[in-house]
């Protein structure tokens, strides 16, 4: 294998890891809240779904998303210097289509019933009005923070763009840690559906015991 090909593979791997981490960091807290608060999934099903999404993402799904986004932007002649309104609409439309295709099968494989998976998929697609721009922006920002590619979007803070590499990478690490802490807080504050089932099953049993006495 030639040196140039090895360099391309190494560079591609860097983009894959950075893009995947950026996508998970920006979306996991929001989807966790959606799953337990709207779709009615238990904490465990939601956690399993997030872990599965992470595994699939690092396994290639995020690569498909980010490279598909790059290709779509190229087809529609969208660059970082294109008007923010157009970039935002593109990220919304692209993410909605992507989520509608991949979300339901993931939820079904993690134990959600058909209704929950359908609601989860439709909600994920609807959330793309918010999530699409966030996911697209997170990729562009992460590439800049890790030194892979300068972010030239007009909305990207000039102060951040000029920071030294060590500060940018430190900020990227803080964003990852903050995302994990937010998810922990969400699951700590929401009652697990499985626990509610256990409690509801225990109450009749306690009533029966008291009646027999």
Residue that wins the pLDDT comparison between 15 and 101: 15
Each residue's pLDDT tens digit, 133-177: 888 899 999 999 999 999 888 889 998 988 999 999 999 999 999
Each residue's pLDDT tens digit, 55-83: 988 998 888 888 888 899 999 999 888 88
- Binned at pLDDT 50, 70 and 90, residue 209 comes out as very low
Q: How far is CA 3 from the centre of its chain?
A: 34
Each residue's pLDDT tens digit, 86-121: 988 988 888 888 888 888 887 888 787 888 888 888
Predicted pLDDT at 193: 52
b/e sequence 44-53, b meaning 16+ C-beta within 10 Å: ebbbbbbeeb
Residue that wins the pLDDT comparison between 22 and 193: 22
Kindly state the average pLDDT of the residues 1-5.
Answer: 71
Q: How far apart are CA 201 and CA 130, in angstroms?
A: 39
Q: How far apart are CA 177 and CA 179, in angstroms?
A: 5
Q: What is the pTM of this model?
A: 0.71
Predicted pLDDT at 119: 85
pLDDT at 198 over 60: no
Residue that wins the pLDDT comparison between 101 and 47: 47
Cα–Cα distances in Å, from 192 out to 36, 106, 196? 8, 20, 7
């Amino acid at each position: 294998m030639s040196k140039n090909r090895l360099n391309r593979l190494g560079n591609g791997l860097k983009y894959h890891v950075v893009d995947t981490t950026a996508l998970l960091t920006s979306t996991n807290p929001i989807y966790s809240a959606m799953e337990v608060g709207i779709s009615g999934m238990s904490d465990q099903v939601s956690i399993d779904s997030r872990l599965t999404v992470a595994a699939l993402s690092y396994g290639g799904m995020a690569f498909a998303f980010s490279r598909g986004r790059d290709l779509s932007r190229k087809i529609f002649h969208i660059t970082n210097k294109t008007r923010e309104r157009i970039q935002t609409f593109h990220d919304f439309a692209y993410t909605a289509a992507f989520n509608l295709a991949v979300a339901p099968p993931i939820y079904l494989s993690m134990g959600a019933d058909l209704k929950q998976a359908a609601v989860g998929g439709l909600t994920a697609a609807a959330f793309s009005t918010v999530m699409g721009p966030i996911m697209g922006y997170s990729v562009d920002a992460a590439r800049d923070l890790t030194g892979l590619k300068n972010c030239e979007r007009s909305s990207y803070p000039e102060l951040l763009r000029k920071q030294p590499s060590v500060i940018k990478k430190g900020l990227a690490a803080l964003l990852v840690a903050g995302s994990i802490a937010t998810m922990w807080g969400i699951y700590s504050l929401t009652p697990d559906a499985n626990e509610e089932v256990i409690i509801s099953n225990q109450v009749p049993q306690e009533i029966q015991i008291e009646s027999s006495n």
